[in-house]
Amino acid sequence: MELYELSALELGKQIRAGVVTQDEAIAASAARIAAAQPDNNAFVTVADAPAPAAALDASPLAGVPMAYKDNICTRGVRTTCASKILGDFAPCYDATVAQRLSAAGAVSMGKLNMDEFAMGSTSETSFYGPVRNPWDLTRAPGGSSGGAAAAVAAGEVWYAIGSDTGGSIRQPAAYCGVTGMKPTYGTVSRYGLIAYASSLDQMGPIARSAADCAAVLDLIQGKDPRDGTSLDAPAGRLLSSLTGNVRGRKIGLPVDCFGEGLDSEVRAAVLAAADVLRAQGAVVEEFALPVMAYVVPAYYIIACAEASSNLSRFDGVKYGWRAEGYEDLGELYRKTRTEGFGAEVKRRILLGTFVLSSGYYDAYYKKALQVKAVIKGAFDEAFQRYDLLLTPVSPTTAPRLGESLSDPLKMYLSDIYTVSVNLAGLPGLSMPCGLDSNGLPIGAQLIGPALGDLAVLDAAHAYQQETDWHKRRPGGMSKGGDAQ
Amino acid sequence: MKITEELVDYVSELSRLKLPEGEKAAMAAELEQIVDYMDVLNGLDTADVEPLSHVFPVKNVLRADEVQPSCDRDALLSGAPASDGEAFLVPRAVE
């Protein structure tokens, strides 16, 4: 068996047992990155000399090569957000997540490509070129954590840390046939995550299985005094609590997530996943969630409003890139921001500024916050009756490169099944549940109540005991890159 | 609602952006399409609903007022586009 075919937990176990050395694992990862990067462009920065774990007994994942999305601050390592404006920005501090993972023996292989400032659903808006889907290089890997999903799918790293504001972990995981989890808002510190929409942003793992995701979350969840929104909730022991048993679990299928606009092959695969869970003893039933009609506009108003405020810090003064040829301070700001941000980022800043501006605030921003309250109420009500919800992750499988960027509104609408989870602060997981007739991966989404992260992971774990979709690999993967 | 090029200019100035003349019409059209779509929210009656900005009732998060080390000045200035070793350099802002 090639090393890249192991799960992160299996590799960690072999490293601890001395079957595989840490150096061999790092060399295998580096070789696969070198082989895959020209094709999929998953990395913005590849580490020259990855720092090995100091102690192999630090965690079950010690010594396992991984990588960070490039909007997560890493001390002394370029952190670009896939933007020209952050170009050579090398933070003088680590994100809490990176600090915790380093202490747990994670080996960072570099920084992963993404949509610029995490704004996009295809990872094509990167200043450093688009990411391509390892399953079909003419297609997008999804976004915005497209580099993270592509790198895990191509066996370059055993897991990655992404961020999810409206589906940016779950949707690329679905398009690339890997497992991704957005945990409950506030359970993972956002300190050191370059903010897009602070009330929605959350970091989480992309890996080969729900068990690997649980192992990563055990290392990164928990209260952090440096993030005022981090929750003082119990953390850890997710992995050891997995039972793989869903007997008696009540799972709701929102009919509003299976209607118009959903590709028939995606629908069939997600309903087949429901059948697997039913056969394992879960009680699965349909219910109505009409509030789904309002989730996309509410999400884009709130996300863009927060982005317009968060991105005001990029001004060409304190760090990053500065335009040339300005007469005064105002022109320095305007030229730097206009030339430094890409088209999608500027569109969202303008939209966000518009919905917050005097005369439009009540009609758009305040209205969206009211709709958010209604959406949260609808999910609270659903979780009175169900332990979990099951939906598709995206209406289609991976689109062709270039297809989505030509129509921004259409791209926004494709986020329909994922954004509500962020608006309501819930845990959501994307797991592979089939392949379409083009051989492209299909994802199913499990959603839990707030702090129900374990129930979400456990149902996915149960599903992955019964099926092997999560073990499928993109075709045409060369085996030459492996050191073993 | 009609998004005019004048409105694009207005929000651009608030955003400290300056779109080239050739890009304004397209941006106005795209924003108009998106803003029009957002009007579907008017289909939901929210007259008695309190706006929700944060999903969890976490408020007044305080910490002990203790000095914590942060990055030193040289490290902070090292990423600046222009500095004199002590401060960020910008064009004169006050006459």
392-421 in chain A: CB under 8 A from chain B: 408-409, 412
Phi, psi of B8 (to 5 degrees): -60, -40
Mean pLDDT by 10 residues, chain A (484 residues): 94 97 98 97 97 96 98 97 95 97 98 98 97 98 98 98 98 98 98 98 98 98 94 94 98 96 97 98 98 97 98 96 96 97 97 97 97 98 98 98 88 94 98 98 98 98 98 72 36
Place of tokens 């094509």: A124
Residue A366 designated active-site: no
Asked whether residue A78 is domain-assigned, the answer is yes
Cα dihedral across residues B66, B69, B74, B75: positive or negative: negative
ipTM, 2 dp: 0.96
Q: Cα–Cα distance between A166 and A432 in angstroms, integer?
A: 19
Whether A334 and chain B come into contact, CB under 8 Å, resolves to yes
Asked whether residue A310 is domain-assigned, the answer is no
Q: For position A144, what pLDDT does the model report?
A: 97
* Structure-token pair, residue A279: 């056969």
Q: Which of helix, strand or coil describes residue A446?
A: strand
Burial class (CB in 10 A: 0-12, 13-18, 19+), A327: exposed
Checking phi first, is residue A90 left (phi over 0); if not, alpha (psi -120 to 50) or beta?
beta
Whether A354 and chain B come into contact, CB under 8 Å, resolves to yes
Q: For position A482, what pLDDT does the model report?
A: 38
DSSP A100-135: HHHHTT-EEEEEE--SGGG--SSS---TT----BTT
Whether B26 and chain A come into contact, CB under 8 Å, resolves to no
- By the 8 A CB rule, do A123 and A114 touch? yes
Q: Do A329 and B12 touch (CB under 8 A)?
A: no
Q: For position A406, what pLDDT does the model report?
A: 83
How confident is the model over B25-73, as pLDDT tens digits?
999 999 999 999 999 999 999 999 999 998 998 788 888 899 988 899 9
Contacts of B21 in chain A (CB under 8 A): none
pTM of the entire structure?
Answer: 0.97
Q: Do A300 and B34 touch (CB under 8 A)?
A: yes
| Number of helical H runs and strand E runs in chain A | 15, 11
Whether A367 and chain B come into contact, CB under 8 Å, resolves to yes
Contacts of A333 in chain B (CB under 8 A): 16
Contacts of B6 in chain A (CB under 8 A): none
Report the relative pairing of strands A283-287 and A388-392 from DSSP bridges.
Answer: unpaired
* Structure-token pair, residue A172: 């690329």
Q: Cα–Cα distance between A38 and A43 in angstroms, integer?
A: 10
Residue A298 Cα distances to A301, A367, A368, B34, angstroms: 5, 8, 5, 12
Q: Cα–Cα distance between A453 and A450 in angstroms, integer?
A: 8
Task: Count contacts between A and B (CB, < 8 Å).
Answer: 160
Asked whether residue A339 is domain-assigned, the answer is no
Q: Which domain holds residue A54?
A: 3-293+369-471
Task: Return the closest-CA partner of residue A415 out of A400, A434, A399, A401.
Answer: A399
Whether A258 and chain B come into contact, CB under 8 Å, resolves to no
Q: Do B11 and A353 touch (CB under 8 A)?
A: yes
Asked whether residue A466 is domain-assigned, the answer is yes
pLDDT at residue B95 greater than cutoff 80: no
Q: Which of A74, A329, A338 to probe the B interface (max B CBs under 10 A)?
A: A338
Q: Do B58 and A350 touch (CB under 8 A)?
A: no
Whether A373 and chain B come into contact, CB under 8 Å, resolves to yes
CA B74 to chain centre: 28
Q: Do B38 and A376 touch (CB under 8 A)?
A: no
Q: For position A75, what pLDDT does the model report?
A: 96
- By the 8 A CB rule, do A80 and A44 touch? yes
Asked whether residue A337 is domain-assigned, the answer is no
Where do the domains of chain B lie? 5-43
Report the relative pairing of strands A388-392 and A250-254 from DSSP bridges.
Answer: parallel
Contacts of B65 in chain A (CB under 8 A): none
Whether A368 and chain B come into contact, CB under 8 Å, resolves to yes
Q: For position B57, what pLDDT does the model report?
A: 83
Partner residue opposite B79 with nearest CB, options A90, A349, A350: A90
- By the 8 A CB rule, do A210 and A457 touch? yes
Residue A425 Cα distances to A36, A150, A198, B95, angstroms: 35, 26, 12, 48
> For the domain that residue A230 is a member of, what is the CATH number?
3.90.1300.10
- By the 8 A CB rule, do A427 and A452 touch? yes
Q: Which amino acid is at A66?
A: M
Asked whether residue A438 is domain-assigned, the answer is yes
Residue A69 designated active-site: yes
- By the 8 A CB rule, do A256 and A395 touch? no
Residue A189 designated active-site: no
Asked whether residue A437 is domain-assigned, the answer is yes
Q: Do B79 and A300 touch (CB under 8 A)?
A: no
CA B60 to chain centre: 24
Altogether, the residues listed in chain B come to a count of 95
Whether B43 and chain A come into contact, CB under 8 Å, resolves to yes
Partner residue opposite A297 with nearest CB, options B38, B70, B75: B38
E-strand spans in A117-241?
159-164, 179-182, 202-207
For chain A, how long is the longest CA-to-CA vector? 70
* Structure-token pair, residue A178: 């890997």
Please list, residue by residue across A200-221, b when 16 or more beta carbons sit within 10 angstroms of its beta carbon and e when fewer do.
Answer: bbbbbbbbbbbbbbbbbbbbbb
Asked whether residue A89 is domain-assigned, the answer is yes
- First-to-last CA distance in chain A? 9
- What's the total number of domains in chain A? 1
Please give the helix or strand (H or E) that residue A428 lies within, else none.
strand A428-435
Contacts of B19 in chain A (CB under 8 A): 338, 346
Q: For position A477, what pLDDT does the model report?
A: 59
Q: How far is B95 from chain A (nearest CA, A)?
A: 11
Catalytic choice (A168, A209, A308, A414): A168
Q: Which amino acid is at A181?
A: M
Q: Cα–Cα distance between A101 and A218 in angstroms, integer?
A: 10
* Structure-token pair, residue A134: 């390892």
Q: Cα–Cα distance between A181 and A52 in angstroms, integer?
A: 26
Nearest residue in chain B measured CA to CA from A300: B38
- Helices within A221-316 (DSSP H only): 238-241, 264-279, 295-310
